[in-house]
């Protein structure tokens, strides 16, 4: 990726978000118990691409907002985007609309398991993965990732093979949030082979895939008995509008999943989401390329800052997106870190919320203008060194 250095970028614009109903900004003080710079929730402090704004304005000119269709134009745009961005075109019938990736994750647990069944996840991981299992009355089977000394994470294949004797459903995160991995084709092929042999369905959350710096391989390309969940929400900063897609190559699996969506009444995507996602996938490629370059430069900026100011902090450049997984164990235990960051006025996700393997870590969202990122890093330094 290119490094913009000190050149001016439209992503450098600081856009105030307080008072917009933002969880990230308007609920930060309540969550953290003080006035903080919020760098936690995984949305971006960047303006949505102009083509999306214009498409929404045009839709708003029509004065009727009845129940929307399944969005055939959106589904075609999704398939075209998948082909152009990730080199794989699913069969048209395989792609369907969903109200959102997290609701679909919860629905998949209900669709493919019964109460009391075990469901596998690989922590440290985005908390809704674990909640989708627990809140639906299933048994959570943890298969923690292995962490190398350079903070590279890998699948524990021996533990996975053992877990596959107990469970027929894996909730998989690809790319993996928060550890920053884009799984290689070799890793995904091995996973697909093992799960096929064990008759295990894989639900792959790929909502961050479009922001990969390395080559992302859609899991559904390799495994028919899988559910690929995605959206334009993360990669075009329209998460608040909702909506998404599920790609399921196997027709029987697809019907089982759709039946659960209807039972739960979460099968519809709202009219504005259909408009926004269609526009994003049809007109957003150039903007997103520039975004990835800016984010990668931010990741490098973090690397240089930490090497200079906090040499005992562990950090590895993420392979996608805008989430920095920081090893802060050298600066105290989790309780001390939390108090120190709050005192410094910085709101981050604490590692323990991501499950086993999260202790001693924090997650920092660096999808912000460079000036805001620098201020956040200064607060991080001041908090850890206080």
- Strand pairing category for 153-154 and 146-147: antiparallel
- Coil, strand or helix at 237: coil
C-alpha distances out from residue 293 to 116, 151, 297, 320, Å: 45, 23, 6, 11
Full strand arrangement of the beta sheet holding 226-230? 95-98, 244-247, 226-230, 201-205, 169-173, 118-121, 139-142
Residue 255: predicted pLDDT: 98
Q: Is the pLDDT of residue 2 over 60?
A: no
Confidence of residue 6 (pLDDT cuts 50, 70, 90): low
C-alpha distances out from residue 386 to 88, 343, 344, 379, Å: 50, 9, 9, 10
Q: What is the distance of C-alpha 128 from the center of its chain?
A: 11
Query: Residue 173: CB partners within 8 Å, gap ≥ 6?
Result: 122, 125, 126, 129, 204, 205
Digit-coded pLDDT (tens) for 45-89:
999 999 999 999 999 999 999 999 889 999 999 999 999 999 999
Q: Is the pLDDT of residue 237 over 90?
A: yes
- Cα 176 to Cα 42: distance, rounded to the nearest angstrom: 13
Cβ-contact 238, 86 below 8 angstroms: no
Q: How many CB atoms lie within 10 A of CB 19?
A: 8
Confidence of residue 8 (pLDDT cuts 50, 70, 90): confident
Confidence of residue 34 (pLDDT cuts 50, 70, 90): confident
% residues pLDDT > 90 (the chain)? 95
pTM beyond cutoff 0.75: yes
Confidence of residue 268 (pLDDT cuts 50, 70, 90): confident
């Amino acid at each position: 990726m290119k490094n913009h250095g000190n050149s001016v970028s439209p992503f450098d614009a600081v856009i105030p978000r307080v008072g917009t109903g933002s969880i990230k900004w308007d609920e930060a003080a309540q969550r953290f118990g003080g006035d903080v710079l919020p760098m936690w929730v995984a949305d971006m402090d960047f303006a949505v691409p102009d083509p999306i704004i214009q498409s929404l304005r045009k839709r708003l000119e029509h004065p009727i907002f009845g129940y929307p269709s399944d969005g055939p134009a959106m589904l075609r745009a999704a398939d075209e985007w998948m082909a152009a961005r990730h080199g794989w075109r699913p069969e048209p019938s395989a792609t369907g609309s969903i109200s959102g990736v997290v609701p679909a994750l919860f629905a998949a647990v209900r669709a493919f398991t019964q109460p009391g069944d075990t469901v596998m996840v690989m922590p440290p991981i985005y908390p809704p993965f674990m909640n989708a299992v627990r809140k639906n009355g299933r048994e959570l089977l943890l298969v923690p990732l292995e962490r190398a000394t350079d903070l590279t994470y890998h699948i524990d294949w021996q533990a996975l093979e053992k877990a596959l004797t107990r469970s027929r459903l894996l909730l998989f995160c690809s790319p993996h949030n928060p550890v920053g991995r884009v799984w290689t084709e070799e890793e995904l092929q091995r996973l697909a082979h093992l799960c096929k042999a064990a008759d295990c369905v894989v639900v792959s959350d790929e909502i961050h895939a479009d922001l990969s710096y390395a080559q992302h391989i859609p899991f559904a390309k390799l495994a028919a008995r899988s559910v690929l969940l995605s959206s334009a929400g993360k990669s075009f900063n329209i998460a608040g509008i909702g909506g998404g897609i599920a790609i399921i190559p196997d027709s029987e699996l697809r019907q089982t999943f759709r039946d659960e969506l209807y039972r739960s009444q979460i099968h519809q995507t709202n009219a504005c989401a259909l408009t926004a996602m269609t526009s994003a996938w049809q007109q957003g490629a150039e903007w997103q390329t520039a975004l990835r370059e800016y984010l990668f430069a931010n990741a490098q900026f973090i690397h240089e800052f930490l090497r200079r100011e906090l040499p005992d902090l562990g950090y590895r450049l993420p392979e996608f997106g805008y989430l920095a997984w920081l090893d802060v164990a050298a600066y105290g235990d989790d309780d001390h870190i939390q108090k120190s960051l709050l005192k410094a006025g910085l709101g981050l996700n604490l590692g323990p919320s991501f499950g086993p393997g999260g202790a001693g870590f924090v997650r920092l969202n660096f999808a912000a203008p460079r000036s805001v990122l620098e201020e956040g890093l200064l607060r991080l330094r001041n908090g850890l060194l206080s």
